């Protein structure tokens, strides 16, 4: 997939882990998504098949809630999908706005206690 930015650049979406793409979960859905992920991963997961099923359920919950967004690295415009997966353009308010707003931060490993917390976040 490619988006033709209004500035003339092409925003490519042809692989995973792109620094100019994000999966956005609306705040009004955030807690419902967390609850649904918790429900998806709870229950019997002692078997490999059970763990795979729980993982698939959690991925589906998150994928269904997230909308896609891309940023043009030349001009900083954002393109964000609406409810119908139609991308809309948003223009930065200043020329010095960051053009890599979706680039990942250094990963912070979960502490063992956070990983074992049955109550989650």
Taking the least distance from each CB to Zn ion, the nearer of 36 and 72 is 72
- Pick from 75, 87, 97, 99 the residue near Zn ion by CB under 5 A: 75
At its nearest, how many Å lie between Zn ion and the CB of residue 6?
6
Assess 7 for contact with Zn ion (CB under 5 A): yes
Reduced to 3 states, what is the DSSP secondary structure of residue 115? Answer: helix
Assess 12 for contact with Zn ion (CB under 5 A): no
Taking the least distance from each CB to Zn ion, the nearer of 9 and 62 is 9
Taking the least distance from each CB to Zn ion, the nearer of 5 and 40 is 5
Assess 72 for contact with Zn ion (CB under 5 A): yes
Assess 9 for contact with Zn ion (CB under 5 A): yes
**Rounded to the nearest 5°, which phi and psi values hold at 19?**
-75, -10
Sequence-separated contacts (24+) of 65-68 with Cβ below 8 Å: 65/25, 65/26, 65/29, 65/32, 65/33, 65/36, 66/23, 66/24, 66/25, 67/23, 67/24, 67/25, 67/26, 68/21, 68/22, 68/23, 68/24
Residues that bind Zn ion (CB under 5 A): 5, 7, 9, 72, 74-75, 77
């Amino acid at each position: 997939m490619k988006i033709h930015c209004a500035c003339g650049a092409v925003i490519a979406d042809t692989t995973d882990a792109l620094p100019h793409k994000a999966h956005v979960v609306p705040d009004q859905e955030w807690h419902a998504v967390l609850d649904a992920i918790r429900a998806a991963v709870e229950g019997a997961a002692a078997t490999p098949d059970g763990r795979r099923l729980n993982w698939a359920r959690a991925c589906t919950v998150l994928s269904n809630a997230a909308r896609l967004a891309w940023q043009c690295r030349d001009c900083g415009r954002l393109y964000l999908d609406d409810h119908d997966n139609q991308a809309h353009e948003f223009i930065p308010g200043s020329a010095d706005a960051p053009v890599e707003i979706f680039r990942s931060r250094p990963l912070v490993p979960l502490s063992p206690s956070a990983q074992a917390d049955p109550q989650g976040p």
